[in-house]
Amino acid sequence: MIWQRLVLAAFLASVGFNLWGALRDPHLLALPAALAGWYLADLLSGLVHMVMDYRPCPEGRGLAAIYFYEGRRGSPEYAALHRATMQRVNAFERISYDFKNHHPRPDALGRRSVWRLIGSTVLVAALPLSLAGNAALLLWPVPGWALALLSAMLLGGGFAQYFHGTLHRRENPWLINALRRIGLLMTPAAHQIHHDTLQRDFATNCGWSNPVINRLFAHLRARGRLDDAGLEPHS
């Protein structure tokens, strides 16, 4: 849809303006700040992933019926059931369900459109934060290193679910493969550890923050939080 393309274009233009501000005021701290921003984006991707995986779905809304649907998922019957069910839950609950549905059907994520993967993140968080950075740049002398950190965090955070989707596709743009080779994005093999256990390595960008998130998960798990019952919807 045209409005979706306009929103994505506005986001990229806004981040580009912040990057211009970073380049206008070069500093030795710019590179480590950008890497710190990339780390923060990875950390956010893992924290969101952990919460959404284990957050219980609301009962009595029909989510279990589509999750455990035994017929052909490409059928008109399933499409109608899925559409009707999603109308009974809010946007946050839809996202939570999608994270759970991803575990038994991981390759489906790689087939989704860019907008479905990142649209809600861009609209709710990345674009408003980027515009706030634009306003700050126009009003005050914001240091270039701070804008480098912000830009890296916005790109990593805004495209986190797209990066996640590329882990479940065989063919990806050359840029994705290049970022994997230099360690700025994780490999499918590294991400498979999460799918094998569902109890570690929740970050899906570069994985740098996984040691921290794994310790947090173990801490919460030991205290009775993040119960396995939240991994699937219940009728």
| Segment 172-183 mean pLDDT | 98
Mean pLDDT on 79-95: 93
> In one letter, which amino acid is 43?
L
Asked if residue 235 has pLDDT above 90, the reply is: no
Q: Which amino acid is at 194?
A: H
Q: What is the pLDDT of residues 208-234, one digit of tens each?
A: 999 999 999 999 999 999 999 999 999
User: How many Cβ atoms are within 10 Å of 27's Cβ, its own excluded?
Assistant: 13
Q: How far apart are CA 77 and CA 146, in angstroms?
A: 51
Residues sharing a CB contact under 8 Å with residue 220, sequence separation 6 or more, in sequence order = 226
pLDDT tens figures, 33-78: 999 999 999 999 999 999 999 999 999 999 999 999 999 998 999 9
In the predicted model, what is the mean pLDDT of the chain?
Answer: 96
pLDDT value for 54? 97
Q: What is the pLDDT of residue 25?
A: 95
Residue 48, pLDDT score: 97
pLDDT at 1: 85
Report helix angle 30-54 to 91-102, nearest 10: 90
What pTM, to 2 d.p., does this model score?
A: 0.95
